[in-house]
Chains A and B, each alone.
Chain A
Amino acid sequence: MTTRLIGAPVARREDARLLTGRARFIDDIALPGMLHAAVLRSPHAKARFTRVDAGAALALPGVHAVLTHEDLGPANAPMPLLNDNPGFIHPRMHRALAPGQVRFVGEAVALVVADSRYLAEDALDLIEVDYAPETPAVDLVAAAEEGAPLVHDDTDSNVACRTVDASGDIERAFAEADFVLREELRPERGAAQPMEARGVVARYDQSLASLTVWDTTQAPVSARGVIADKLGMPEAALTVIAPDVGGGFGVKIMLVYAEEVLVPFAARLLGRPVKWIEDRREHFVGSNHERLMVHRIEVAATGDGRILGIRDRFLYDSGAYCPYGPINAECAQAILPGPYMIPAVHSEFLAVYTNTPIVSPYRGAGQPHGNFVTEMAMNHVARALGLDAAEIRRRNLVRPEDCPWDTERIFQGNTPFIHRDSDYPAQLETALEALDYAGVRRGQPAEREQGIHRGAGLAFFVEGTGIPPYEGVEVRVEPTGHVHVATGYPSQGQGHHTTLAQIVAETLGVAPEMVVVESGRSDRFAWGVGTFASRAAVVGGNAALGAANAVRARALELASEELEAAAEDLEMANGAVHVKGAPQMAVTLAALAQAANPINTLAAGSEPGLRAADYFRSSDVAIASGVHGAVVVVDAATGMVEIERYVVVHDCGVMINPTIVDGQILGGTAQGIGGAFYEKLRFDEAGQPLVTTFMDYLIPTAMEIPPIEIHHMESRCSLNPLGVKGVGEGGVIPAAAAFCGAVEDALAPFGARVRAHPLDPPAILAMIEGRTAP
């Protein structure tokens, strides 16, 4: 009998190293002769310069080099555009070092390489740049207007991209509406802020003319291509390794950041290993941001609360460049109808340059924004029509009997967004029961008379997961009996090695301890895209299953010859193939691996080794879904919010490892609560960042995050053999909307209506007092 491992709460194989201090994060790498780099960053949001005087810096003993844009040659060509969009007007990408003009505070201007990081930072202070500051465009709304200061002088407007996505007959929807809601909704700017910032270490081997780059990237295989191109090297001479990485959440994938070119460049130039480690203050300006959008929506509804159409025109803050393309805006656009059957949706976005750090995906990648818009709109339409927030959702949900339901929306990866394999009405009822929603409603009238402001909020989510193009996995049985599993996509804490081992060990009937997993190294497996968009379990997991199944078939074929039994009479368990019902008639996988790699003759047409690689090609979005419910009590005197209950109903299909699934949901929800209530990046009018420490950027602690109650609904996904849907972002996507909905419900007697988050105490007090939020 094969032991079931898929679905078991297996303890993680990653943990022992991490718990004992034996892990190897980027800054733990120490190489003989290693030098240390520091980046000179622009202090201005917009300025021109003609001269970078590094004389004094170079004179400092222990300083080996100061690189400016003039030293880089072709390596300083603009970075690639990762995601094109037909609406692009002015795509503008950053370069490794700014060539005479800077466009945000934090943009890289020079790189110092010295004996120590301390010394390198001393040298930064000695570099003189003749900046001539210019008026920046900082505010998103103002930057989008005609006549605004231009971020890129060779354009006629800050609008980088204008894209319309329309489905259904929007004019008819509004013509038939009994009620139209109009409002502006604004999720504010935030950032992923993993606990480990970024870092790069590079070593050049002069003998082989090859480079090894250790990089905190979420996409080492893809990064290798860009770095090889910039350095004018064959990909074959470059190895990119993602070591242990301390959280990613999207910010560690950009393809590529300046330092991913600069550090290998310097290592090759100097012939010595070079390390650059980003500090936290740098991370606030030198790494990408997310979340700011301004949505102006109109919602057409019937008198009984059916939504006929949504028209959304929104601004998306791209920051100073757009190397990632307007992915966040695209995802916000695609996700707009949520789980609701909305006949017409018309959305148009303007991706706008501002003189602020570059914007790229942070966990959810625009989906939290689109979700916030739709879910708040549901609440506000309900209130206008005198309906309960639960009832309006109930009336609009796509039902199982409607599926497959094609939203006619196009998601990231140019994939159709089609509802299937979920039961949204059942999710709603589960959440209402778990939350005792009816009980909260019953208690409210009496509580309000006593000045107690308790409220409940609901927010659905649908999450596009497992997006294209593909990932690959190789499975190889060693003559030692160990099974080697290799893939290109790396981990930043998701436990991929554990889940991949579960899949392969179960399929091959071996003990998980016999499975060795390697990932995120381009020298082990050099095909694939990366870890993002909740795709690893779906795309990588199914590739692992495919490869393991191919190895299994080959093992059975070999064993069939060896045991003189038909393959269908064989089974695999305990690291061997044996005849069903006769476990003594067995041959070990180790012996089969040896037989597959003979020392004398290899049969014509056959390949050596007991191994296979497989690629799972995704063509359709696997939609994970669920609903979050919050019960809060708001102190009307202080604006403080106590979260009494937080319930997550979640359907990610088959769970490979339920404990890891719970971890993803809990952590994502905590990030969502951070965005809902605490986290906001601010700039002054000159584009100076006002938030560059954890004293100003408030990441929730254990005191702020309430106990979260999870209810799983495990509807098998019909799009892949494992039956899985991704789980990385369902925690974060609806959290802001659930929380904001609960607060405005609690404050309904004041007519409070949430239009932006984070919802900090001053914003809540302003709602209570009927003022505009400060």
Chain B
Amino acid sequence: MDAARRTVRVTVNGESHEKEVEPRLLLSDFIRHEAGLTGTHVGCEHGVCGACTVLLEGAPVRSCLMFAVQAEGASIETVESLADGDALHPLQEAFRREHGLQCGYCTPGILMTLKPFLAANPEPTEAEIRQALSGNLCRCTGYQQIVAAVRRAAAMLRAEAP
């Protein structure tokens, strides 16, 4: 199988990674085990739970449903890109304050789903928030405190906006 290896060059969180990988390597496994960014989690590997969500060219994708070779040349953002040193991103801060996470396993995928959502819709209604979250499964929270966190994050981001 080594003969079939391909070189993949991607930019993850602004840093370029070049690796020889098997064509069948999932993007989620590339991010976690080749790039060593283990904040992106794998919950189902069949595209339902959303835990592995990352941004590919700014848009949320399920990294378990793509091969790494399909991301050739792309720019990827993961949960590790959100905080600025010790300063949490408003989304992260809002989740912390509203108890929007318990075990935290689904959380990175949810944060990466919400970042472009709030950029496109800075003042969402509750129904819009729930719809935006509907592609991410959480087994701990029952979503209510996540919804509250999204509302708080939206307000924080609006206050920050120029």
State the A residues within 8 Å of B (CB): 11-12, 14-25, 27-28, 30, 118, 192-197, 244-247, 249, 279-281, 492-495, 659-660, 662-663, 666-671, 693-695, 699, 701-703, 705, 707-708, 731
Picked from A16, A30, A192, A194, the residue with its CB within 8 Å of the CB of B96 is A16
Picked from B99, B105, B144, the residue with its CB within 8 Å of the CB of A196 is B105
**Do A280 and B43 contact each other (CB < 8 Å), given the known contacts A23-B104, A494-B102?**
yes
B115 to chain A, nearest CB (A): 13
Q: Which of B48, B111, B143 has the most CB of A within 10 A?
A: B143
Picked from A18, A280, A702, the residue with its CB within 8 Å of the CB of B143 is A702
B143 to chain A, nearest CB (A): 4
Interface size class of B (residues with CB under 8 A): 35 or more
- Give A122 to B22 CA distance when docked, in angstroms: 13
**Do A15 and B104 contact each other (CB < 8 Å), given the known contacts A20-B82, A21-B37, A246-B41?**
yes
A12 B99 Cβ-Cβ under 8 A: yes
Interface residues of B in 95-112 (CB under 8 A from A): 95-97, 99, 101-108, 111
CB contacts (< 8 Å) of B143 on chain A: these are: 666, 670, 701-702, 705
- Give A586 to B58 CA distance when docked, in angstroms: 57
From B116-124, B128-136, B154-162, give the one contacting chain A.
Answer: B128-136
B104 A18 Cβ-Cβ under 8 A: yes
A693 B44 Cβ-Cβ under 8 A: yes
CB contacts (< 8 Å) of A22 on chain B: these are: 39
A280 B137 Cβ-Cβ under 8 A: no
- Give A18 to B95 CA distance when docked, in angstroms: 11
B103 A195 Cβ-Cβ under 8 A: yes
- Give A416 to B146 CA distance when docked, in angstroms: 39
Q: Is B61 an interface position by the 8 A CB rule? A: no
Picked from A19, A693, A708, the residue with its CB within 8 Å of the CB of B48 is A693
CB contacts (< 8 Å) of A15 on chain B: these are: 95-96, 101, 104
Picked from A14, A30, A246, A701, the residue with its CB within 8 Å of the CB of B105 is A246
CB contacts (< 8 Å) of A14 on chain B: these are: 104
B97 to chain A, nearest CB (A): 6
A20 B83 Cβ-Cβ under 8 A: yes
Q: Is B25 an interface position by the 8 A CB rule? A: yes
Interface residues of B in 130-154 (CB under 8 A from A): 130-131, 133-147
| Contacts A659-B99, A666-B144, A695-B48 known; 7 new A-B pairs at CB < 8 A | A16-B96, A19-B83, A21-B80, A246-B104, A280-B44, A671-B142, A701-B143
Interface residues of B in 48-104 (CB under 8 A from A): 48-49, 51, 78-80, 82-83, 88, 92, 95-97, 99, 101-104
**Do A19 and B92 contact each other (CB < 8 Å), given the known contacts A27-B32, A193-B139, A666-B144?**
yes
A120 to chain B, nearest CB (A): 13
- Give A356 to B39 CA distance when docked, in angstroms: 35
26 chain-A/chain-B pairs, Cβ below 8 angstroms? A11-B99, A15-B96, A19-B83, A19-B101, A19-B111, A20-B80, A20-B82, A21-B40, A21-B78, A25-B41, A27-B32, A118-B22, A118-B25, A195-B51, A195-B105, A196-B43, A247-B140, A280-B46, A280-B49, A662-B145, A663-B141, A667-B142, A670-B141, A670-B142, A701-B135, A703-B134
CB contacts (< 8 Å) of A17 on chain B: these are: 104
Picked from A247, A671, A694, the residue with its CB within 8 Å of the CB of B44 is A694
A6 to chain B, nearest CB (A): 17
Picked from A16, A196, A694, A695, the residue with its CB within 8 Å of the CB of B103 is A196
What are the nearest 5 A-B pairs in CB distance?
A21-B39, A18-B104, A246-B105, A493-B103, A670-B142
CB contacts (< 8 Å) of A663 on chain B: these are: 99, 102, 140-141, 145
State the B residues within 8 Å of A (CB): 22, 24-25, 32-33, 36-46, 48-49, 51, 78-80, 82-83, 88, 92, 95-97, 99, 101-108, 111, 129-131, 133-147
- Give A487 to B120 CA distance when docked, in angstroms: 46
**Do A25 and B141 contact each other (CB < 8 Å), given the known contacts A16-B88, A659-B99, A702-B130?**
no
CB-based nearest A residue for B126? A707
B46 A693 Cβ-Cβ under 8 A: yes
- Give A12 to B147 CA distance when docked, in angstroms: 18
Q: Which of B78, B99, B104, B141 has the most CB of A within 10 A?
A: B104
CB contacts (< 8 Å) of A705 on chain B: these are: 142-144
CB contacts (< 8 Å) of B83 on chain A: these are: 19-20
CB contacts (< 8 Å) of A495 on chain B: these are: 102
- Give A22 to B37 CA distance when docked, in angstroms: 9
CB contacts (< 8 Å) of A28 on chain B: these are: 32, 38
- Give A494 to B99 CA distance when docked, in angstroms: 11
CB contacts (< 8 Å) of A708 on chain B: these are: 142, 144
B32 A247 Cβ-Cβ under 8 A: no
B45 A279 Cβ-Cβ under 8 A: yes
A702 B48 Cβ-Cβ under 8 A: no
- Give A281 to B43 CA distance when docked, in angstroms: 11
A25 B105 Cβ-Cβ under 8 A: yes
**Do A666 and B38 contact each other (CB < 8 Å), given the known contacts A20-B88, A27-B32, A118-B25?**
no
A662 to chain B, nearest CB (A): 7
CB contacts (< 8 Å) of B137 on chain A: these are: 195, 694, 699, 701
A280 B142 Cβ-Cβ under 8 A: no
B139 A671 Cβ-Cβ under 8 A: yes
CB-based nearest B residue for A197? B43
CB contacts (< 8 Å) of B45 on chain A: these are: 279-280
CB-based nearest B residue for A701? B134
B142 A492 Cβ-Cβ under 8 A: no
- Give A660 to B99 CA distance when docked, in angstroms: 7
CB-based nearest A residue for B141? A667
Q: Which of B33, B78, B140 has the most CB of A within 10 A?
A: B140
- Give A314 to B75 CA distance when docked, in angstroms: 58
- Give A17 to B129 CA distance when docked, in angstroms: 25
- Give A702 to B151 CA distance when docked, in angstroms: 14
B6 to chain A, nearest CB (A): 15
B106 A195 Cβ-Cβ under 8 A: yes
Picked from B38, B42, B79, B105, the residue with its CB within 8 Å of the CB of A247 is B105
B103 A20 Cβ-Cβ under 8 A: no
A666 B141 Cβ-Cβ under 8 A: yes
- Give A694 to B36 CA distance when docked, in angstroms: 27
Q: Which of A21, A194, A701 has the most CB of B within 10 A?
A: A21
**Do A12 and B96 contact each other (CB < 8 Å), given the known contacts A196-B41, A246-B41?**
yes
